[in-house]
Amino acid sequence: MKTLNVGLIGYGFMGRAHANAWSQAGHFFDLPYEPVLKVACGRQAAAVEAFARRWGFESAVTDWRELVARPDVDLVDICVPNDLHAEIAIAAAAAGKWVICEKPLALDVAQGEAMTAAVEAAGVPNLVSFNYRRIPAVTLARQLIAEGRLGRVYHYRANFLQDWTISPEVPQGGAATWRLEAAKAGSGVTGDLLAHCIDTALWLNGPIASVNALTETFVTERRHAETGELAPVEIDDACTFFCRFANGSLGNFEATRYARGHKALYTFEVNGEHASLRWDLSDLHRLAWFEHGDEGRVRGWRSVHVTDHGGQQPYMDHWWVPGLAVGYAESFVHQLADFLAAAAAGRPCGPDFRAALETQRVCAAVLASARSGRWVAVAPG
Ligand code: SOE
């Protein structure tokens, strides 16, 4: 089997999720390539060396340019803060490497366009890590909608609720809290959380035509984790928007880091003419399903435990025995298995950079609408 030498940049939360997926994918899926953990990269030498040892990378470097320039690296996996995505992805594509990039694609649409142009000009396989698509229950939702089981869709609603920034003592900037610094993150909950909801929505329900949004920044000054200086907060702490999809359905989306009691509650519900479905990240292996055509006496919401074998439920044949669930980490394994199979077949794997650029465009329209207080059309791709 052909080997695929992986260079992974970033050893934080996402670096661990991706390193785990690279290690596990071949144990559970018949991959067309054998991933080799060639080199890990991070700014702190001791930390990246420890990371490389723990996850089995052959080497460690502290400069991403060195990793991208190495002839023995085939694929660059970008798991660093958002402000570095564009520069690294464009350099990697120019060097002919395959590119996987953490979400959101970029700080803004202009960067996303340059990144998309770079991977497309280089003709390299590319993927953006919107991992929730590959939770089996979410993939099943997509299959049911694509089969037309819901009929005409009327409503799509999604929430992503957290509570970790309520205290004004939480700093901005730095390794753990860069998501609160606009220069590093691009935006707040819109790019970090709603981007997930939008990616899933575009996949399940098609393009979003126009949006009307409201954002709020509840804590307006925070200390910087590195300098200690008090500085204005320039990200959105909460965002809520409604929208029209191109298929005529109405959408309702909300994300916040101020929903006390919710750590990462991602939910969506789709209501169609014949059926409805609902999914909840805190019960991620279940899909709630309501079918109007059921016999009236027993009609009601079913709670489908998406863990069965026999090719019926996505991905599950690759795991344990029927009834035993998989979770968050495995969505990254599924992502790699799909990406490598598609690359071997010469097919794109969604969401590629172009698909993630559409999510970036919706995020930009949401932020523009919040600024202007008006409806904003999503810019055409
Ligand atoms: C933020 O807390 C965060 O970690 C996001 O950055 C991830 O994309 C999301 O999956 C969970 O929440």
246 and 163 fall within a common domain: yes
86 domain-assigned: yes
Ligand 1 pocket test: pick from 165, 192, 200 the residue with the most ligand atoms within 8 Å of its Cβ. 192
156 and 268 fall within a common domain: yes
- Look at the block and give the residue holding tokens 């609902």: 278
Give the pLDDT band of residue 262 (cuts 50, 70, 90). Answer: very high
Cα 132 to Cα 139: distance, rounded to the nearest angstrom: 9
170 and 245 fall within a common domain: yes
Considering only CA atoms, which of 280, 126, 273 is closest in space to residue 200? 280
Give the pLDDT band of residue 134 (cuts 50, 70, 90). Answer: very high
380 domain-assigned: no
Cα 101 to Cα 76: distance, rounded to the nearest angstrom: 8
Domain boundary among 132, 157, 184: 132
Pocket lining: 192 vs ligand 1, CB cutoff 6 Å: yes
123 and 143 fall within a common domain: no
Cα 170 to Cα 172: distance, rounded to the nearest angstrom: 7
Find the DSSP H helices in the chain. Answer: 13-28, 45-55, 64-69, 85-94, 109-122, 136-146, 174-177, 182-185, 189, 195-205, 328-345, 353-372
CATH number at residue 368: 3.30.360.10
Measure 152 CA to ligand 1 centroid, in angstroms: 32
Output the CA–CA distances (angstroms, integers) from residue 180 to 56, 177, 185, 253, 362, in the order listed.
Answer: 32, 6, 7, 21, 20
Domain extent for 220? 134-351+357-372
109 and 198 fall within a common domain: no
Pocket lining: 358 vs ligand 1, CB cutoff 6 Å: no
User: Is the model's pLDDT at 124 over the cut of 90?
Assistant: yes
Q: Under a CB-based contact definition with an 8 Å cutoff, are residues 200 and 158 in contact?
A: yes
Give the tokens for residue 28. 């559970």
CATH number at residue 43: 3.40.50.720
Give the tokens for residue 128. 């953006």
138 and 101 fall within a common domain: no
> pLDDT tens, 304-332?
999 999 999 999 999 999 999 999 999 99
65 domain-assigned: yes
Domain boundary among 107, 132, 157: 132
377 domain-assigned: no
Q: Under a CB-based contact definition with an 8 Å cutoff, are residues 176 and 323 in contact?
A: no
User: Is the model's pLDDT at 1 over the cut of 90?
Assistant: no
Cα 369 to Cα 173: distance, rounded to the nearest angstrom: 26
Output the CA–CA distances (angstroms, integers) from residue 284 to 291, 303, 364, in the order listed.
Answer: 20, 11, 29
Q: Whose CA is nearest to atom 6 of ligand 1?
A: 192
Helix (H, G, I), strand (E, B) or coil at 194: helix
User: Is the model's pLDDT at 100 over the cut of 90?
Assistant: yes
> pLDDT tens, 37-89?
999 999 999 999 999 999 999 999 999 999 999 999 999 999 999 999 999 99
83 and 193 fall within a common domain: no
Q: Whose CA is nearest to atom 1 of ligand 1?
A: 192
67 and 213 fall within a common domain: no
378 domain-assigned: no
Q: Whose CA is nearest to atom 8 of ligand 1?
A: 192
114 and 216 fall within a common domain: no
User: Is the model's pLDDT at 120 over the cut of 90?
Assistant: yes
Chain-centre distance of CA 60, in angstroms?
A: 26
User: Is the model's pLDDT at 381 over the cut of 90?
Assistant: no
Measure 255 CA to ligand 1 centroid, in angstroms: 11
Q: Per the structure, how many domains does the chain have?
A: 2
In sequence order, the 6+-apart residues with CB closer than 8 A to the CB of 371 are none
Q: Average pLDDT of the chain?
A: 98
259 and 140 fall within a common domain: yes
Domain boundary among 132, 149, 179: 132
379 domain-assigned: no
The pTM assigned to this predicted structure is 0.98
70 and 146 fall within a common domain: no
Q: For 24, which DSSP code? A: H
pLDDT of residue 193: 98
154 and 77 fall within a common domain: no
Q: Under a CB-based contact definition with an 8 Å cutoff, are residues 67 and 39 in contact?
A: yes
